[in-house]
Amino acid sequence: MENFLPTFKVFSGTKSRYMAEEICKELGVELGKMKIEHFADGEFEVCFEESVRGCEVYLVQSTFPNCDNLMELLLMIDAAKRASAKTVIAVMPYFGWARQDRKDKPRVSIAAKLVADMLTAAGVDRVITMDLHADQIQGFFNVPLDHLYASSVFIPYIQSLQLEDMVIATPDVGGAKRANSYAKYLDLPLVLCHKQRAKANVVANMTVIGDVKDKNVILVDDMVDTAGTITKAANLMMDNGAKSVRALCSHAIMSDPATQRVNDSALTEMIFTNSIPYTKDCPKCTIISVARLFADTISRVHNFQSISSQYLIK
């Protein structure tokens, strides 16, 4: 029998449809037809409305809150496997529950590992995601995981600003590796912020390690939730003599009162990707699409090509 390359199809969950539509536009294909029917008690059913037998199926769904997004993805994977899809690939621009990647205190769950196990149990064959909160999460999976980096869209944007006297900074020591990668690639100095938390989402105090006087500061982080840390860091940089402060953040979680904090802060600009839909009114926020990054990766995976050329920095 003659060998052939399996057809690939792209489907989307409810809240990531905007991303799937952009990806399909970049790929030049139609978004697959799928129906999600809700019952009165909140339960829902996933149904593919076209055949996926023998196909390579790409399911676009970020797993940001609420939990329905994760449950939709699990049901989509299960439905595709039961419909005889050849392979099922989860395209997760934002991988939720990633902040719970270790036991940092007694008697807590490692939610990132649990989510990885759930995806594997549902039948996923590969995962494509971007800027995980912690690199070790890649090791939680027993299937291939392609870890993309928002630096491939952020670095051209930074360069387009043509700012002089730039420094790269991180709002906390945990993000030092990520910020250092930007600093090395752009050949810029690195500044660190050291913070102490009173509790989750509450920063007690913060200090700057490095010189920001008369500098244009670029803060680098993987996500912004309540924006307490990033805005406190920006205000502190300006208090220490910075010319301006901008922030690059891959995932715009932006839980209230984050938008108000950003608007009220010393930040000149907050730059996000569209991995999570963000629709609130924030004149300081700039959204950069990563649809082409994911579309190119899907094309390369489908055609058995290397994706390493996608990486500017890691």
Paired tokens of 82:
């039961």
Determine contact, residues 50/92, Cβ cutoff 8 Å. Answer: no
Question: What's the CA angle centered on 156, arms 155 and 159, to 5 degrees?
Answer: 85
What is the distance between the alpha carbons of residues 130 and 111, in angstroms, rounded to a whole number? 18
Residue 229, SS3 per DSSP: helix
Nearest to 288 by CA among 160, 138, 98: 160
Nearest to 165 by CA among 201, 226, 96, 216: 216
Paired tokens of 211:
């010189």
What is the distance between the alpha carbons of residues 210 and 128, in angstroms, rounded to a whole number? 36
Paired tokens of 221:
């982080």
What is the distance between the alpha carbons of residues 139 and 219, in angstroms, rounded to a whole number? 28
9 is catalytic: no
Query: What does residue 90 show for φ and ψ, rounded to 5 degrees?
Result: -90, 120
Catalytic pick from 9, 113, 195, 232?
A: 195
Torsion-angle region of residue 8: left (phi > 0), alpha (psi -120 to 50) or beta?
Answer: beta
> Known catalytic residues?
195
